[in-house]
Structure formats: structure tokens, C-alpha cells
Amino acid sequence: MPVELTYFQAVVLGVVEGLTEFLPISSTGHLTITEQLLGLPVDDPAVTAYTAIIQIGAIAATFLYFAAKIARLFLAWVRGLRSVQGRSDPDYRLAWVVIVGSLPVGIVGFLARDLISGALRSLWVVSAALILWSGVIWYAERRHDQLEAVGDQRDEHGVTLKDGLVIGLVQCFSLIPGVSRSGATISAGLIRGIDRVTATELSFFMAIPALTAAGLFEAARGTEAVIALGVGQMAVGVVVAFVTAYASIAWLLRFVATNSLRPFIWYRVALGLGVAVALSAGWITAT
């Protein structure tokens, strides 16, 4: 029986996507939980496709919010390709960091796409990932505090290609629902000695290629399923995700400028434990 998506459900899922995509709390995990609460089959191909496609709204918000900086990095990259002098620009290196960091998750995500949209779409996986990755974020914050205390941190002009590769490889863990792409990338940046604001911005930039590719791929692969859900509902979800994501980006950048990620750790653990209790009690099902 085809899955039916109402406009109310589309709005709710758009809000959840926009609010959680860039926070270190896992948008996929929250969408999976929300879909279950809304009575949608979380492992249905149409629902999985919808989850990926509405991310395009969040990516559009990233483009708009960072339009000037994205243009600056792109132009620096082009100049660097064309001249030796252009390669001395720190923005040229930063552009390559983003490119290199974006490749691993794209490759792994494509090769493991069936696993990601199938077996891993379980609330037991979400619960475990929310709790376990919180330990990584805690360690990253502890490492950040140690380096900050001795003044041994780097801003965007000190980021290297090795940093980009390491962050990109760690980002692959975010393919597990509940880990959080931003949680993975920001944590990796902090552990590498990058300051919190720079690590957060890198997380935004590295999201653009991965999420755009995932959204377009799912749209192409699941055209019939998407149409079955409703083109209007899809459009509403994308627009709502765009608006809420823009607000989320602005808030997070202000937050990390003066605060640690520890409040998100406690939230992740509490939510993960809550989901585990609800599953054990039979209040909700895993898929």
C-alpha cells in the first residue's frame, strides 16, 4: 500500500530537518524518530527518499547564509588553479580542504547506500549511536579545552589538507543514523586542534557536496516514490527546511562562539536512553 504523506506531516518533518541538520544531535536520527511518531514506515523507500530530498532546503540555506564566503573560496580556488601566485592565498588551501574533506563520505555513502537506507534505519541503531557518539563529542570538547588553555589552536588560515582528510573520514560515521554529520565533523576538527567556530564552519561547507548529492540521487532514484508521496508535500518540506535551517545556522554560530557543545551531549544521551526505553516497553517499534 503506498505511503500517504499529509501536508501537516510534511511541515513537521521540514521543521525537524531544518532545526537539526546542523546541530550535533543527528537530523537523520530525529527524522527517523519523528517519522515513527507520525506513523510513517521509516524503512519505506519513499520515506527514505523524502528524508534525503528535503535536505536540499537546508543546503540552500547554507548557500544563502555563506554566499559571500563561498564565492570568495571558489574564486580563490580558480585563481590558484590558474597561477602560482594564486596558490599562496590561504583561501585556496581552505577550498581544497573542503573538497578533500567532502570526498570520503560521498564515496562511502554511495557504496553503502542500501545498508544506510535499509538495516541502519532502525531506532535501535539511532538510540545506540546517539549515546555512543556523545562520548566522542565529550572527548573532543575536553581536547579543545586543553589546547585552548595553552593557546595551541588554529583558525581557518591554519587548516591543512590533512585536517580536511581526517575530518572527511570521520564524517563517514555520520552515515549511521544518530551519529550526526555536524557532530562528527566538529568533533574531528576540535580533536585536530581547530578552534570551535572554524570547525563549525567547516562542517557547514563540507555538508554542501554530500547532502546535495544525496538529495539529487534520491530524487532521481525514487522519482515514482516521491511523486506518490506528493509533489506539493515535497515542496512544502523543502521550503520549511530552508527557513528553519537558516535560523538554525545563525543561532549555532553565535552559540559556539562563546559556548561548548556539552549541552548537546546531555540532550543526546537523554534522547537515546528515552528511545531505548520506549522500544523496550513496546511503545514504539524500531522500523
Q: Where are the domains of the chain?
A: 7-281
Contact 238, 57 (CB under 8 A): yes
Centre a 10 Å sphere on the Cβ of residue 281 and count the other Cβ atoms it contains: 8
User: Given a cut of 70, is residue 24 above it in pLDDT?
Assistant: yes
SS3 state of residue 263: helix
Query: Cα separation of 286 and 276, whole Å?
Result: 10
Confidence of residue 16 (pLDDT cuts 50, 70, 90): very high
Strands (E), the chain: none
Question: How many other β-carbons are positioned within 10 Å of the β-carbon of residue 59?
Answer: 23
- pLDDT for residue 1 is more than 60: no
Instruction: Return the pLDDT at 191.
Output: 96
Q: What is the pLDDT of residues 134-177, one digit of tens each?
A: 999 999 999 999 999 998 899 998 999 999 999 999 999 999 99
* Residue 41 pLDDT level (bands cut at 50, 70, 90): confident
- In the chain the first and final C-alpha atoms are separated, in Å, by 16
Q: What are 186-233's pLDDT values in tens digits?
A: 999 999 999 999 999 999 898 888 778 777 776 676 566 667 778 888
Task: Kindly report, residue by residue over 103-146, the tens digit of the pLDDT.
Answer: 998 889 888 877 877 778 889 999 999 999 999 999 999 999 99
Query: What pTM did the predictor assign?
Result: 0.90
Percent of the chain residues topping a pLDDT of 70: 96
Average pLDDT, the chain: 90
- Cα three-residue angle 104-99-86, rounded to 5 degrees: 155
Q: 17: pLDDT confidence band, cut at 50, 70 and 90?
A: very high
